[in-house]
Amino acid sequence: MGKKGLARERLLLITCECGAQIPIVYDIYEMSSLIELHIKTHKMKDACAELSEAEYARLEDLLISKIFEVLGK
Ligand SMILES: [Zn+2]
């Protein structure tokens, strides 16, 4: 991580299926809390239904695979 000279300020984003964009940060803890926070916004949109564990895991997998997609380019 943090190779010098590598466009360090370039902001990479992933787009969730809901259309929201989440910045990719090079800190695994920060990244996972961004993902967690974002997934919680899905829960709030559908206030009467709790996000199921399966749905949470599905969104988490989706967002993580998008990160790899973007970084793999
Ligand atoms: Zn979303």
Helix (H) or strand (E) holding 48: none
Share of the chain above pLDDT 70, in %: 79
| Torsion of Cα atoms, 26 then 29 then 30 then 31, to 10° | 70
How confident is residue 22, by pLDDT bands cut at 50, 70 and 90? very high
CA of 22 to the centre of ligand 1 (A): 9
Centre of ligand 1 from the C-alpha of residue 2, in Å: 28
Residues whose CB is less than 8 angstroms from the CB of residue 27 and which lie 6 or more positions away in sequence, other chains included: none
Distance 20 CA to ligand 1 centre (A): 5
Residue type, 5: G
What does the pLDDT look like over 43-62, one tens digit per residue?
766 666 678 888 899 999 99
Q: How far is the CA of 33 from the centre of ligand 1 (A)?
A: 14
Cα of 24 from ligand 1 centre, angstroms = 14
Distance CA(61)–CA(69), nearest Å, equals: 12
| pLDDT band at residue 10 using 50, 70 and 90 as cut-offs | confident
Checking if the pLDDT of 1 tops 60, the result is: no
pLDDT at 29: 96
